[in-house]
Chain A
Amino acid sequence: GENVEQHPSTLSVQEGDSAVIKCTYSDSASNYFPWYKQELGKRPQLIIDIRSNVGEKKDQRIAVTLNKTAKHFSLHITETQPEDSAVYFCAAMKGSGDKLTFGTGTRLAVRP
C-alpha cells in the first residue's frame, strides 16, 4: 500500500521567514495530494491541495509543488505569522472517494 514520509518532524522559524515541509510517497498511482493544518485539539483543516496534472499551485502565502517523477511534494509558507503555528500533515490519495494516507506531521512554530 501507499506510504507517505514527511520531513522535518519539527520546524521553528522567525516570524516573516519562509517554511518548507517535504513529503515523499511510494505509490505511483496516487494522483491527489492535500495538505492539512491541525491546531491543538482541533480537526485537520484542508489548506491547499494539488492534483497530478499540475506542478505547482499557489494560494496567497501558501504554495505546493509536485514532482511526480521523483514522487515528492512540498508545502511552502512565505511571510510566516504566529497564527501559522500548528501541525501540518501531507497526504496522498489515488482518486475520488479513496482513502487518504497521511504523513507523520510537522510541528511548525513561528517565533514572534
Chain B
Amino acid sequence: EPEVTQTPSHQVTQMGQEVILRCVPISNHLYFYWYRQILGQKVEFLVSFYNNEISEKSEIFDDQFSVERPDGSNFTLKIRSTKLEDSAMYFCASSEDFEQYFGPGTRLTVT
C-alpha cells in the first residue's frame, strides 16, 4: 500500500537558520498539505497546494514559510529563519479526493 514519506525524521537547527523539510506524496494524489503539531496539542493546518500553487494558507504560514514542488515527486516546506516557537512535528499529507493520508512527520527542534 503506497504511503506518504518524509525526510528527515528529526532535524535540529539553531534559531535563525533555514530548514527544508521534504515529502514525497502518494503518486496519484493531486492535493498536498503541510500541518504541524506542537507536542501534546492538536494538529494545525499550515498550507494546501494544488496544481502547482498554494490553495490556502493559515495565519501561521507567514513570510518565513514557503512551499515548493520542485519536481514530479517531491513537495517541500522551507522555513527561512527559524524561531524557537517553530519547534514542532511537521506532517505532510496528500489526497486524491477527500481522504487525506499523513506522512510519518519530521520532528523539528530549534535551539
Contact = CB atoms under 8 A, between A and B. Distances in A.
Interface of B: 30-31, 33, 35, 41-45, 48, 50, 55-56, 58, 91, 95, 97-105
A97 B50 contact: yes
Interface of A: 32, 34, 36, 42-46, 49, 51, 89, 91, 93, 95-105
A89 B42 contact: yes
B42 A51 contact: no
Contact of B33 (A51, A99, A101, A105): A99
A93 B43 contact: no
Contacts of A89: 42-43
Contact of A98 (B30, B48, B102, B103): B48
A102 B43 contact: yes
Contact of B56 (A32, A42, A99): A99
A95 B104 CA distance: 24
The 7 closest A-B pairs by CB, nearest first: A99-B45, A97-B31, A43-B102, A102-B43, A102-B42, A32-B98, A44-B102
Nearest to A4: B42
Given A97-B30, A97-B55, A46 B99 contact: yes
B38 to A, nearest CB: 12
Given A34-B100, A43-B104, A45-B102, A100 B42 contact: no
Contacts of A32: 98
Nearest to A99: B45
A104 B43 CA distance: 8
Contact of B100 (A42, A100, A105): A100
Contacts of A91: 43
A34 B43 CA distance: 13
A108 B48 CA distance: 30
Given A44-B91, A100-B100, 9 more contacts: A43-B103, A91-B43, A96-B31, A97-B48, A97-B55, A99-B56, A100-B45, A102-B42, A103-B42
